Chain A
Amino acid sequence: MIQIENLAKRYGAFTAVDDITFTARPGRVTGFLGPNGAGKSTAMRMMCGLTPATSGTAHILGRPYRSLPNPTTHVGVMLDAGAQHAGRTGREVLGLAAILVGAGRGQVDSVLDRIGLTSREAERRVGNYSLGMRQRLGLGAALIGDPSVLILDEPANGLDPGGIHWMRELLRSYAQEGGTVLLSSHLLSEVEQVADDLVLIGRGRIVAQGTKEELLSSAGVVVDATDREALHAALHRAGFSPVARPRGGFAAQAGTAQIGELALAEGLVITNLSSSGGGLEEMFLTLTADDAREVAA
């Protein structure tokens, strides 16, 4: 489990991370989502004791990172796949990580197998690796100590679609085994399918967080029925704040299942029911657009 409480980082007048609070729970994949420069990496570096926090706390498994004995046996960290010595081979990078966690040579081979690097690729220098291969290697180094928490900064960056699928499966099964996974991304589509919980961050502040279902349902639905008046009354009674749409039907603050239950209970014939379409995406795009404007200004 990762518990972040009122964590903040200021550089002079610039606030990189502004009082963020969230929890990444065991058995779940938490997506840490925000545009570039939103403060994701700074927050993750603070979690790992690499950047001193201006205020607030970050606890991993109930302790500050720096007070974990031999931390990589508990927490697998990949903050930058590019932060590898170009002159070292992939196998050597894993070998060094293996020594520190007390793993043997066999463990290096099994990790290589798990991250899908052939032994020929593993003998090549990291300087010759593609970004995708570096991501796999970085993930391998994070996994080698068999940790119960994973902290990954933009792990899908540079992966091809096959690689993204592979990583998704790996992280999902890791969480299913009870692990805590926190991964950041600037692309909603990358984390939407794998994350159970989402934390949206923009300009250092958390703008939304919750389970993926909650966030998606808070975006509301569009619903229509044969008897519009009855539908409107029912939606109103249920507290779903219906708003009539110009082309018929209503926008309502509810999940599709809730509307289904309502229709069953009220005996309504539903003719159209859909998630209003990327409410999350919209929220995310607004964040990105705000930042883009700021850069342009």
Chain B
Amino acid sequence: MTTQLSTTTGAADQVRDTTTPTDPGGRARAYLDDADLGQGLPFARLLRTELRKTVDTRAGRWLLIVIVAVTALAMGLMMWLGREDGADYPTLLLAAVTPQAVLLPVLGILTAASEWSQRTALVTFTQEPRRLRVMAAKSLAAVLLGLVVVAVTIVLAGLAHVASAGLAGGDVDLSLPGHVYGGVVVLQLIYVLMGVAFGAMLLNVPLAIAGFFVLPVLVNIVSMTVGWVSERAAWIDQTIAQTPFMALDAAPTGEQWAQLGVTSIWWVVVPMAIGLWRVARREVK
């Protein structure tokens, strides 16, 4: 009986031995030594893929096309309205910035939330299990794209002004107070990051888009009707806090900067913190 049993184990071992490879492909490893670990995933690669993901799908590509089309449309409208005297450069710029402030956040929302809707989060967080690192790459990618859009818009507004002035025979005047550039950049970046924050907080594209547009309106209504809120609206309601930053005549005061900072805590920092907490903890299915 004993001999029989030992033969069995012997046979099993033989089977194992014949299939144990001589490692021609270098894959036969049970454990990773520190030497085999290799370098961690460089952040630059992560950023590159996240940037690419925003433009390599139809949804992302169309969003960028719509942003460009709306920009062109807004500027075209201003050029037509100012066809007699030539459209002002600041007017052209601000006309494009307003609709962009609506569309750029959608870019942020898509970046943060679409992977959960499309289930590619399963792949992404397998490739980089340090999820907050992925979110950092996503946020930076959205910010970079936002900056590109702002830069292109500034160039387009300049060109549109030169063309409009030329057609109307007016003077070309590309002067614009520095604080307006600063205001445009800061506001658009706040909107993009707010989009990322809402996307991460709700992890669902339609829900995040709805939340992004409905919540500020609700707060706006409250701030107009509730006395206590309306007295402090500039510290709570970001649409009110942002108004001075689009004004051409005067640079924002220190208090107005403080108000922008404080409203950004409510609208960007808090949702982002909730979003990152959810992303870090949520089971990816």
Contacts and interface: CB of A to CB of B under 8 A. Distances in A.
B122 A80 contact: yes
Contacts of A10: none
A144 to B, nearest CB: 11
A36 to B, nearest CB: 15
B98 interface: no
A7 interface: no
A52 B281 CA distance: 8
B215 to A, nearest CB: 28
Interface in B24-48: 24-32, 37-41, 45-46, 48
A261 interface: yes
A112 to B, nearest CB: 17
Interface residues of A, number: 66
Nearest to A11: B283
A253 to B, nearest CB: 11
Contacts of A82: 119
Interface in B8-25: 8, 11-12, 15-16, 19-21, 23-25
B61 to A, nearest CB: 9
A223 B201 CA distance: 66
A87 B57 contact: yes
Contacts of A220: none
A70 B40 contact: yes
A292 interface: no
B120 interface: yes
Interface residues of B, number: 53
Interface stretch (B126-134, B172-180, B204-212, B266-274): B126-134
A107 interface: no
Contact of B23 (A25, A28, A178, A255): A178
Interface in B130-144: 130
Interface in A227-273: 237-240, 254-255, 257-258, 261-262
Per CB-CB distance, the 6 closest pairs between chain A and chain B, nearest first, are: A178-B28, A177-B25, A62-B31, A69-B40, A87-B57, A1-B30
Interface of B: 1, 4-5, 7-8, 11-12, 15-16, 19-21, 23-32, 37-41, 45-46, 48-49, 52-53, 56-59, 114, 118-120, 122-123, 125-130, 281, 283-285
Given A51-B285, A66-B129, A97-B123, 9 more contacts: A51-B284, A70-B38, A70-B40, A71-B128, A72-B127, A84-B118, A85-B120, A125-B58, A258-B4
20 contacts: A45-B285, A49-B125, A49-B129, A50-B125, A51-B285, A68-B32, A70-B41, A72-B126, A97-B127, A148-B27, A176-B21, A177-B24, A178-B26, A178-B27, A179-B25, A179-B27, A196-B19, A239-B4, A254-B4, A258-B8
